[in-house]
Amino acid sequence: MKKRSKINEYIYTLAFTVVMTAICILGVSFAYQQSKAGIKLNSELFTKRAVLSAANIPAEGSPEEIAKTYAENITVSKHGDKEWYRTKTGDYVIPVTGTGLWGKIDAVIGFDKTFKTITGISFTANNETPGLGARITEKWFCEQFRDKKSPLSFVAEGTKSDKDNQFDAITGATITTSAVRDMVNKTAKEAPGMVWSGK
Amino acid sequence: MAQAKTKDIMLDGIFRNNPILIQVLGICSTLAVTNVLKNTVVMGVAMIFVCAFSNFFVSLLRKLIPSRIRMMMEILIAATGVILVDIVLKAHLPDVSRQLGPYVGLIITNCIVMGRCEAFALSNPPVASLIDGASNATGYALVLVVIAFIRELLGSGSVWGVKILGAWWDNWSIMVMAPGGFFVLAILLWVVKGLYSREAEK
Amino acid sequence: MSNEYMGYFAIFFSAIFTQNVLLTYYLGMCPFLGASREVKTAAGLGTAVTLVMTCTTVLNYIVYKYLIVPYDLEYLRFIVFIIVIAAFVQVAEIVIERLSEKLYNALGIFLPLITVNCAILGVSLFMVIREYTLGLSFFYGLGSGLGWMLAILAMAGIRQKMTKSRVPGPLAGTGIALIIAGIMAIAFMGFSGVIKG
């Protein structure tokens, strides 16, 4: 008799676990399905804003307005197996991946059509330390790249260098800053060649 | 009567028995985001939701859960709450969600969530548990916000991302880095415990 | 594959020293503060954490790569990871109990605590976000576990020595432990630059 109740207890425990897990997973899945479209839209919008910002095209306002600006200005062009973005005026926006302190840093870097001047940069993904390396996504950091010329080097944060081949580093995040510098310089060097090989 | 009790539970969680300052619980995951005030506030709100959510459901199921798998079930419920928060953040605050990265997930293993489930929800009715969870997490979040305020101000010269200390201010990088968190929390503990013991002497 | 050039050793080394989960991410603070009064307890807990962390990181990697990603279940990963960890801890407890009573007394008693150690879940989540390979995950898990153990052992050693020191009243206990942890974190930061990440 006692043995039987022990088996019952096991069955109850097992059944309870299964039912609870199923309920939780179903609930979560339902919530996810509900907001899936929204999440996808958000990430598309995020990419669009990043590309526009790298191309130095002002994009403010509602999601619809940004999508409209994007559609009017940006086309996707193939270069080898890579997808680049091109603006109406012929500037390039190139997706680049670099290695920071923690892992990869994704960015889009904009160049004018001669690849001499940088039109802008925005970071789409990074795993850097919040408050330190992750500050590369801050506006002042990205904005300072506009109209600069490769090869770039960096100077201490707060210098506000007006030389066109320097940018301000982030204090305490030298590895991240170096990674950004290398990403920009490498792209500026290699991209012109890729335009031709793509054709 | 019932009202007085509710008030008691709330005061207990937020002040008298503050989880960080008095019980020194749950500083694990969330301390890491306290170098930026905005992230801290979002984490705090997420924390309040998850804690209230899991306390409520654990209390609702307290008579059904077999004791052998009690901890597993508590974690499962907390994880469900966290995933809901994560989905909401992704859908409505994508920028913040991107910055918080893995930290949202770490709320699951925050000792306060489990601690309140074990200490309160298992022996109290659902609504009281909900209030208990929410107020404990509120007390917790308040302390974090204070820490974040100090760290962001000293470490970046700004509050909520807005520079308020002028160019004369040299940022204390150590505040943004990990040791700063330890020091600020230790000093805060010192001050609060000192005040408490002085009050007790009176 | 983005971490190819960092190599196994760099990951292993930085997980122990420069990017110690405990001292740079505050992961696993509760047991760190609670169980660091005695070196013996700290050693037992540290070993258990290292064992569980290494195994669960690898298990979670396999589950993530072959179950979660192919079926597009990314949003469920928190639940799945925590279930894997909880299940592993349960199984480990039973196995150790059968294997040796001595080992069980030294390690087993700490195992139930480990499921809720933030560091274990944290390492699995970081492993996913940083896109490590299987080999890197193993070294990252092992390194993080050893780093955690090193930190708690050092802490326990210092605290034992400090029992005779006079600490300002309100700062005694947790307060001073936090200050020690802060100083330890600064010391560990000194290792950065030894290996170029």
Contact B91 A42 (CB under 8 A): yes
Is C97 within a domain?
yes
C74 touches chain B (CB under 8 A): no
The yes/no answer to whether this complex scores an ipTM above 0.85 is no
Q: Which amino acid is at C43?
A: A
Residue in chain C nearest B188 by alpha carbon: C175
Is C74 within a domain?
yes
Which residues are paired to B158 by β-bridges? B163
Contact B86 C179 (CB under 8 A): no
Residue in chain C nearest B178 by alpha carbon: C24
The whole-angstrom separation of Cα B108 and Cα B84 is: 12
Q: Tally the domains of chain C.
A: 1
Asked, as a colleague might, if the bond just before B19 is cis with ω within 30 of 0, I would say: no
Range of the domain at A188: 75-198
What pTM was estimated for this model as a whole?
Answer: 0.82
Contact A28 C76 (CB under 8 A): yes
Per-residue pLDDT of chain C (197 residues; tens, 9 = 90+): 344 555 788 788 888 888 888 888 888 887 888 778 888 888 888 888 999 999 999 999 999 999 988 888 888 888 889 889 888 988 888 888 888 888 788 777 777 777 777 888 889 988 888 888 898 899 999 999 999 999 999 999 998 888 888 888 778 778 888 899 999 988 887 776 665 44
Is C39 within a domain?
yes
Is C159 within a domain?
yes
pLDDT tens-digit map of A115-168: 888 898 998 888 777 667 778 888 888 888 888 887 888 888 777 777 888 888
Q: Is A113 exposed, middle or buried (0-12, 13-18, 19+ CB in 10 A)?
A: middle
Is A152 within a domain?
yes
Q: How many CB atoms lie within 10 A of CB B201?
A: 6
Contact B176 A172 (CB under 8 A): yes
DSSP state of C67: I
DSSP state of C68: I
Q: Tally the domains of chain A.
A: 1
Q: Which amino acid is at A84?
A: W
Is A30 within a domain?
no
Is C104 within a domain?
yes
Range of the domain at C49: 4-189
Contact C76 B108 (CB under 8 A): no
C185 touches chain B (CB under 8 A): yes
Range of the domain at B14: 2-201
H helical segments located in chain C: 7-16, 21-25, 29-34, 39-63, 77-99, 101-106, 111-114, 118-129, 134-162, 174-189
Is A145 within a domain?
yes
Which residues are paired to A93 by β-bridges? A85, A110
Q: Tally the domains of chain B.
A: 1
Contact C78 B76 (CB under 8 A): no
CB-nearest to B69 from A13, A137, A158 is A13
Phi and psi torsions of A134, nearest 5°: -65, -10
How high is the pLDDT of residue B32? Answer: 78
Distance from the A88 Cα atom to the nearest Cα atom in chain C, whole angstroms: 33
Is A100 within a domain?
yes
